[in-house]
């Protein structure tokens, strides 16, 4: 999986940026706080959270590993998806989020677009008893920690990334490895990573 991207910003849209890395342009979804820190034509390094679905692969970018960690942590709450989590991170700093949870401050979360009183109450209730996110050493500077993909056991290259993607979707490592191996028999020994992930998902889901 992609853990970070370091490249040149070639375009910035309303909810995404195009980051060119070694001649390849990556569309990275991001909140307005992160996008406001980018400039077209300048270098940037973003922490990346990769969401893999059967019909799409999306990259979400953040200015720090701590933000990326909270993005994932917030989505452990029922009814909080990627869009709502980004809205919360646009409204509150990571420190503010931690404080709001500790103080059971529902009103702070309700300030974010898409978060009503009931969802705000659920967020503080469900996250109150959980440890804060660590991510990939979430509280260290991004420049010191984000050095590329972080893989689970399962091989290198496309094979390792595909196994990691399936594990991140909640599939146990052994099942993921078998599915990827079966998919590679169909696709050949050098498939594109997205194609391999989709084929392996089909194997798992029958």
Count structural domains, the chain.
3
Whether 105 and 81 share a structural domain = yes
Q: What is the pLDDT of residues 2-29, one digit of tens each?
A: 889 999 999 999 999 999 999 999 999 9
Whether 110 and 161 share a structural domain = no
Least confident window among 1-10, 85-94, 95-104? 95-104
> At residue 55, does pLDDT exceed 60?
yes
Whether 45 and 85 share a structural domain = no
User: 20 and 10 in contact (C-beta within 8 Å)?
Assistant: yes
Q: Quick one: pLDDT at residue 135? A: 55
Question: What mean pLDDT is predicted for residues 183-195?
Answer: 84
In a domain, 151, yes or no: no
Q: Quick one: pLDDT at residue 94? A: 87
Other CB atoms within a 10 A radius of the CB of residue 111 amount to 14
Domain at 165, CATH number: 1.10.8
Q: Quick one: pLDDT at residue 80? A: 97
In a domain, 150, yes or no: no
Structural domain that includes position 101: 65-127
Of residues 171 and 92, more confidently modeled = 92
In a domain, 132, yes or no: no
In a domain, 11, yes or no: yes
> At residue 143, does pLDDT exceed 60?
no
In a domain, 197, yes or no: yes
**Confidence band (pLDDT; 50, 70, 90) for 112?**
very high
Whether 59 and 69 share a structural domain = no
The radius of gyration computed from the CA coordinates of the chain, to the nearest angstrom, equals 18
Alpha-carbon separation of residue 78 from 7, 13, 136 (angstroms): 34, 29, 23
């Amino acid at each position: 999986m992609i853990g970070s991207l370091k490249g040149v910003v070639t375009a910035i849209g309303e909810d995404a940026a195009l980051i060119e890395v070694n001649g390849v342009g990556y569309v990275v979804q991001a909140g307005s706080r992160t996008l406001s820190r980018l400039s077209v034509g300048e270098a940037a390094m973003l922490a990346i959270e990769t969401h893999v679905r059967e019909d799409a692969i999306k990259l979400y970018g953040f200015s720090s590993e701590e933000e990326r960690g909270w993005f994932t942590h917030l989505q452990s709450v029922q009814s909080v998806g990627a869009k709502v989590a980004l809205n919360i991170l646009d409204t509150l700093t990571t420190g503010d989020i931690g404080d709001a949870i500790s103080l059971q401050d529902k009103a702070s979360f309700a300030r974010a677009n898409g978060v009503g009183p009931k969802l705000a109450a659920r967020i503080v209730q469900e996250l109150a008893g959980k440890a804060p996110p660590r991510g990939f050493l979430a509280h260290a500077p991004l420049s010191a920690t984000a050095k590329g993909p972080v893989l689970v056991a399962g091989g290198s290259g496309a094979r390792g990334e595909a196994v990691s993607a399936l594990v991140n979707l909640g599939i146990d490592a052994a099942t993921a490895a078998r599915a990827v191996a079966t998919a590679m028999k169909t696709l050949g020994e050098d498939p594109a990573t997205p194609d391999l992930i989709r084929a392996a998902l089909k194997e798992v889901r029958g």
